[in-house]
Amino acid sequence: MEKTKILHQLMFAPYRYAWAEENGTKHEWCLISIELNGIMLRLTDFHKYIGAVRGSRHAYYLDNDSVRRACNFLTYALFIHHSRYKVDRITDIPFQSAVDYMNEYSRTKNYTGNYPSRQSVEKERNAVCHFMKNIGNKRSDYKTHYYVKKVLVKESAKNKSPVRKRTIKTIWEYEIDATYLSDEPNNLIRDIPQKAIPIILRAIRREAPDLLFGALLQLFAGLREGEAVNVRRANSIYYGGIRYVKENGKFTSFEVDLTKEYLLRSDGKTTGNIKRERTQAVYPIFLDAIQEAYEAHLKLVNADDIEPEAPMFVNMYRSSKTGKKMALSKQSYCKRIKEIMFNTVVPELLKSDDRELKTYGMLLNENNWGLHAFRHWFTVQLVLNGEDLDGIAFWRGDTSLQTAYTYLQNKGEIMKKYQKANDIVANKIINRILMEGF
């Protein structure tokens, strides 16, 4: 009885560890620990079985979310249901436990009273199946179950171009069936009507002027949220945060250095991740607007009041070591923008006499919304401005052309939906908003 009680108090939990070299290069690792009532007992090496093989020198690909999902599964099989499966080692975890776990996961409602979305179920299954696959050569039933297998799919022939070499996309097939019970399998709103862009930008400028430039980097250069908070000022100790060319007082190019992740905070905490290391340029039609926003942003925070890493975006808290403002985290950035969207923008949209804006407000009020919608809007502008497959992939900073192909497949609908307002939004309204003053 006492052993059963202790087992129910034990759990596997992620343990994140980050450090930086003297040159600022950031390293981050997510290990798997065993905790008893929130107190870590010891670290394990189970993280080496996380994720799909990506052809790197490591036998695994580490992803923090995958580590968390694997921890949940291990807790389920080894601790919570130890009496059912009689398992003491991960190499003895039976296939049936993975099936049972996925069935229970897909049928368990979250704190909002909803079943997990289709995307959540697929990600959970991905993590569990790859974990089982990776420990396969140490399992007695490895030849009986494949857990997950690789299917290589080449890009479509119509995507061929002499300019860029096509990559081969890997598709995975899973032995465990997935169950989708969510009433709203696709309840994430990505589209932003062109008419809504001025309303959103005005709200951000009014409520959080220090974040406006970040939102514009997402809208004008397609940066992801974690990449936006990795942007550094030009005077950072890590050379090359921002590069631009000016002719006759006007930007002719503006680039953000995302070629390497640096630790931007003296307390050792990470800000966000760069999904693909690169130098990302602002799309040419937005150069006037980005110049106005960039020059105004630099005036908001005194350069002497931030740490030498010179993050572009800082929070209100000061470092206990340096006494200066520290880099803003991705979580804080997303939280503040989403609060503005739902506390300020949505009520304004719902009061609008414009049918399209009111409908958009209702959609936001009843569904989920994330900042990745800014990157989606940016891609739509690329389509509207006539970019081809390679152009879209280049400006988005993608290695695969699959996303660009998806947008071009729907080009007719996109053109029909957005073309009328495109020139106005891109070249007039946004510039006017930025010139109204901060």
pTM above 0.75, yes or no: no
pLDDT in tens, 404-421: 887 887 766 677 666 555
The terminus-to-terminus CA distance of the chain in angstroms comes to 65
Query: What single-letter DSSP state applies at residue 141?
Result: T
Cα–Cα distance between 105 and 122 in angstroms, integer? 11
Burial 249-284 (b: 16+ CB within 10 A, else e): eebeebbbbbeebbbbbbeeebbbbbeeebebbbbe
Query: What single-letter DSSP state applies at residue 248?
Result: T
Helix H or strand E segment including 99: helix 95-106
Q: Which amino acid, 242?
A: I
Mean pLDDT of the residues in the chain: 84
Q: Please tell me the predicted confidence (pLDDT) of residue 250.
A: 94
Spell out the domain ranges in the chain.
Answer: 2-174, 188-435
pLDDT in tens, 105-129: 999 987 667 788 888 899 899 999 9
93 class by beta-carbon count within 10 Å (0-12 exposed, 13-18 middle, 19+ buried):
buried
By mean pLDDT, which of 50-64, 79-93, 130-144, 279-293 is the weakest? 50-64
- CATH class of the domain defined by 188-435: mainly alpha
Q: Say whether pLDDT at 69 is over 90.
A: yes
Cα–Cα distance between 52 and 126 in angstroms, integer? 9
Cα–Cα distance between 134 and 32 in angstroms, integer? 15
Region 294-311: mean pLDDT is 90
Torsion of CA 279, 284, 287, 288, to 10 degrees: 180
Q: Say whether pLDDT at 429 is over 60.
A: no
186 falls in which pLDDT band (50, 70, 90)?
low
338 falls in which pLDDT band (50, 70, 90)?
very high
72 falls in which pLDDT band (50, 70, 90)?
very high
